[in-house]
């Protein structure tokens, strides 16, 4: 599959992590970046990416707040695939419940995966979209 036509939006407030993700994904995908939830929401609504990689804890607007606004906005926002990223294991019941309600495809704890794992998961998402 030619993934270069697939647009991925990375919304991550930690510039180093966002840079590593973008550099790794840009080799095979079209990538845009947002540094917080407000910027990410504006980019998502403007660009309608095929997939969003979304940090949970960010300034200005959290990832869960951003995703809730996306899910409420349009049919596109309701259905866009989202992979949630966080530095913390989901032990807080409120966060777990909110994430489950917003229906991300996957939830990754950053310390528990390698970039190659995420790249494989992104490809799997796109491969499943074409066979669905």
Give, in degrees to the nearest 5, the angle at Cα 20 between 15 and 104: 85
Q: Can you give the pLDDT at residue 9?
A: 98
Q: What letter would DSSP give residue 85?
A: E
**pLDDT mean over 108-112:** 66
Q: Within a domain: residue 128?
A: no
Q: Within a domain: residue 92?
A: yes
Q: Within a domain: residue 59?
A: yes
Q: Within a domain: residue 129?
A: no
pLDDT exceeds 60 at position 91: no
Q: Within a domain: residue 1?
A: no
- Give the DSSP H/E element, type plus range, for residue 83: strand 82-86
Domain assignment of residue 12, given as a range: 7-118
pLDDT exceeds 70 at position 109: no
Give, in degrees to the nearest 5, the angle at Cα 88 between 84 and 89: 85
Q: Within a domain: residue 42?
A: yes
Q: Within a domain: residue 127?
A: no
Give the CATH number, domain containing residue 70.
3.40.50.2300
pLDDT exceeds 60 at position 90: no
Indicate the number of domains in the chain. Answer: 1
Q: What is the pTM of this model?
A: 0.87
Q: Within a domain: residue 87?
A: yes
**pLDDT mean over 84-105:** 64
Produce one character per residue of 19-50: b if its CB has 16 or more CB atoms within 10 Å, e if not: eebbebbeebbbbbbbbbbbbbbebbeeeebb
């Amino acid at each position: 599959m030619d993934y270069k036509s697939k647009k991925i939006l990375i919304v991550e407030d930690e510039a180093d992590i966002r840079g590593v993700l973008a550099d790794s994904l840009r080799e095979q995908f079209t990538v845009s970046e947002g540094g917080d939830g407000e910027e990410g929401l504006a980019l998502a609504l403007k660009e309608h990416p095929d997939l969003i990689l979304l940090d949970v804890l960010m300034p200005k607007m959290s990832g869960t707040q951003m995703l809730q606004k996306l899910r409420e906005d349009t049919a596109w926002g309701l259905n866009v695939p989202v992979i949630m990223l966080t530095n913390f294991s989901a032990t807080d019941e409120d966060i777990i419940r909110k994430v489950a309600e917003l229906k991300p495809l996957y939830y990754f704890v950053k310390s528990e995966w390698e970039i190659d794992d995420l790249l494989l998961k992104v490809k799997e998402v796109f491969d499943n979209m074409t066979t669905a």
